[in-house]
Amino acid sequence: MSDSIVDLSINTIRTLSMEAVQKANSGHPGAPMGLAPAAYVIWQRHLRHNPKNPDWFDRDRFVLSNGHASMLLYSMLHLTGYEAMTLEEIINFRQWGSLTPGHPEAELTPGVETTTGPLGQGFANAVGMALAEAHFNEKFGGVVDHFTYGICSDGDLMEGISHEAASLAGHLGLGKLVFVYDDNEITIDGRTDISFSEDVQKRFESYGWQVLSVEDGNDVEGIDAAIKAGKEQTAKPTLISVQTIIGYGSPNKADTSGAHGAPLGGEEIEKTKEKLNWPHSESFVVPKKVREHMTENARSRGEELEADWKQRLADFADTDSDAAAELERRIEGRLPSGWDLQLPGFEPSEKGMATRKAGGAVIEKLYEELPELIGGSADLAGSNKTLHPKYGVIARGEYAGQNIHFGIREHAMAAMVNGMCLHGGVRGFGATFLVFSDYMRPSLRLAALMGQPSLMVFTHDSIGLGEDGPTHQPVEHLMSLRAMPNYHVLRPADANEVRECWKMAIERDEGPSGLVLTRQSVPVLNRRGMGGFGEPRQGAYVMADSSTGGELPEAIIIATGSEVSLAVEAWDRLTADGLSVRLVSMPCWSAFEGQEQSYRDSVLPPEVTARVSVEAGAKFGWQRWVGDRGIAVGLERFGASAPYEEIYENLGITSEAVEEAVRTLVE
């Protein structure tokens, strides 16, 4: 390559990337080396961003879906002048406490839009970001107007989540989404043709994408022209297939899997520098000309772009002050005053209602009070009770509504919801049956890792689902989700707890929440005069207590969800016989664990070791609350296909079983 400033800049990206991987003795140098020209074109010629303000709202979003190529992103952040991404951070790649972990982490590194690593996740996140932008653009008359750019790999496009997300993006016509496909034909195990022979371009064309091709990954002008064409086609998302050479410049490892997931080696790096005509023998050099060309240009251009947008905002406020105030509120993430005052309340009723039905009533009111709440179901809207068409349904060319038909795409739905929340100004949610959370776990886990307030509605939460049988009846799912750090599992006992759990989820901004709701009806419980204290928002509270005069109860029953009503029946009989029993409803373990020790001890006094839990799910894990002496009434097997009342009876999840367990412990 020539000594032009463009070539010098591209080779700076390459050398920083391969040297950081070498110093860490760990990482993936090949993709950054092959992708350096594409990244240069995106960041230097197209990406609207301000390095001095990484969170400027109307910036373009950039997603590196193939997160193993993280040094490409870190090099771009450093070279374009993000203050936190110092050269020292580059040198400390993959080290404890650095801002340069092995895969990009949005919650850690300024300028990183999403946490990528599991392949395909970033791709689906980007679709969610593009959908959020389309919503804002239509809702606020174009004052929000930006693109979402991404880079993806062969691995991303093999993963099923990318198929789901690409299909929906094409269906919705998200035209301000432009992806560069790193078509280098190499994975860890070797050339892609050992397992991957489909025509990717035709596949994306069938999804409704514009598909373009650049045959030479070093063709800067060709890549530039393709991106321009992608930006001009606003009725379709664009995939640009760029044929790169992994490990470009390495004499012995380029175009081989040897450049994929291991350092090149010191000797090979020296030979690579020679082949690239790199003028510096020392490591981690950024030539002054490159610094001036990339850093100064990006900073000055970014400040101008943000200033222009602020002027657009001011003009918008002059035209429509109410809409401008609403836009500002949503950008800042503030809830409107009194947003929860009109949420429905429910009178006590033995007949009751399914908590999914109560959830539907709450969602309908939330749609009215919180226009930023946007979501829907994976083709189960009627069952999940999430569809309220009067608040608008998002479709091709119609993005201002609040309802989304995700189709049968649980994995993409969860990742898109993450992308919507990451975009900002939107509270995304999805919905499906609890058993299908298995399809969604990588996305749920990443939401928890990023601390994103993504919301999920999981209905049909237990063997109470009934006749559909054990394939659809979750057993281990509650515990597996509770095991996930920073994930709030909210399993309300009745309609009024549903309202309170939704409030908890909406007010939580440091992590995701899953509302777990019943298919079957449960009583709306009467809590008056039962000696209880505390509130659902505290994670657990005393619903009923027959102990008097400050004395400790003889036993404690702890229940969640639909089994709280069974516990109430047992409590009634036990207390009628003169036993001193406390009943605790525990809708959210993690919220309870976050309370002060004094409150936790007031609800579950350590001195009371006669404890019984009841939940129509796995017993595993309940020792945390009932202790070694306690008894967990639950399941150690899968469910069955039958009316739900018979399943509960035959599997021993009954008020009689709870009562017997308490009597056994007390006696």
pLDDT (mean) for 195-200: 96
507 and 558 share a domain? Answer: no
399 has pLDDT over 50:
yes
pLDDT of amino acid 199? 97
* Residue that is last in its domain, among 289, 304, 319: 304
Domain total in the chain: 3
Cβ(166)–Cβ(204) below 8 Å: yes
1 has pLDDT over 60:
no
pLDDT (mean) for 275-295: 96
Residue 414 pLDDT class (50, 70, 90 cuts): very high
516 and 396 share a domain? Answer: yes
Tell me whether residue 333 is in a domain: no
Q: What digits encode the pLDDT tens for the residues 54-77?
A: 999 999 999 999 999 999 999 999
Q: What is the mean pLDDT of the chain?
A: 97
425 and 452 share a domain? Answer: yes
DSSP state of 293: I
Q: In angstroms, rounded to a whole number, what is the distance separating the alpha carbons of residues 503 and 505?
A: 5
pLDDT (mean) for 323-336: 97
* Residue that is last in its domain, among 473, 498, 522: 522
569 and 626 share a domain? Answer: yes
515 and 568 share a domain? Answer: no
298 and 370 share a domain? Answer: no
516 and 590 share a domain? Answer: no
Residue 122 pLDDT class (50, 70, 90 cuts): very high
Tell me whether residue 321 is in a domain: no
Which residue range is the domain that position 412 belongs to?
349-522
Percent of the chain topping pLDDT 70: 100
pLDDT (mean) for 393-420: 98
195 and 63 share a domain? Answer: yes
Residue 2 pLDDT class (50, 70, 90 cuts): very low
Q: In angstroms, rounded to a whole number, what is the distance separating the alpha carbons of residues 267 and 288?
A: 26
42 has pLDDT over 60:
yes
Name the one residue in this structure whose structure tokens are 């995106």. Answer: 42
410 included as an active-site residue: yes
In sequence order, which residues have a C-beta less than 8 Å from that of residue 368 and are 6 or more positions away?
342, 391
Q: In angstroms, rounded to a whole number, what is the distance separating the alpha carbons of residues 211 and 204?
A: 7
Cβ(181)–Cβ(152) below 8 Å: yes
Percent of the chain topping pLDDT 90: 98
Tell me whether residue 323 is in a domain: no
592 has pLDDT over 80:
yes
Cβ(423)–Cβ(129) below 8 Å: yes
Tell me whether residue 269 is in a domain: yes
Tell me whether residue 338 is in a domain: no
Q: In angstroms, rounded to a whole number, what is the distance separating the alpha carbons of residues 244 and 214?
A: 9
pLDDT of amino acid 259? 96
pLDDT of amino acid 550? 80
Q: Whole-prediction pTM value?
A: 0.98
Q: In angstroms, rounded to a whole number, what is the distance separating the alpha carbons of residues 348 and 146?
A: 50
486 has pLDDT over 70:
yes
Tell me whether residue 330 is in a domain: no
Report the CATH number at residue 657.
3.40.50.920
Tell me whether residue 311 is in a domain: no
* Residue that is last in its domain, among 268, 289, 304: 304
Q: In angstroms, rounded to a whole number, what is the distance separating the alpha carbons of residues 183 and 200?
A: 10
Residue 12 pLDDT class (50, 70, 90 cuts): very high
380 has pLDDT over 70:
yes
pLDDT (mean) for 118-127: 98
Instruction: Name the catalytic one among 105, 410, 497, 563.
Output: 410
81 and 36 share a domain? Answer: yes
Phi, psi (rounded to 5 degrees) for 41: -65, -45
205 and 252 share a domain? Answer: yes
pLDDT of amino acid 3? 55
607 and 516 share a domain? Answer: no
Tell me whether residue 317 is in a domain: no
Cβ(563)–Cβ(655) below 8 Å: no
Q: In angstroms, rounded to a whole number, what is the distance separating the alpha carbons of residues 52 and 54?
A: 6
Report the CATH number at residue 59.
3.40.50.970
73 and 211 share a domain? Answer: yes
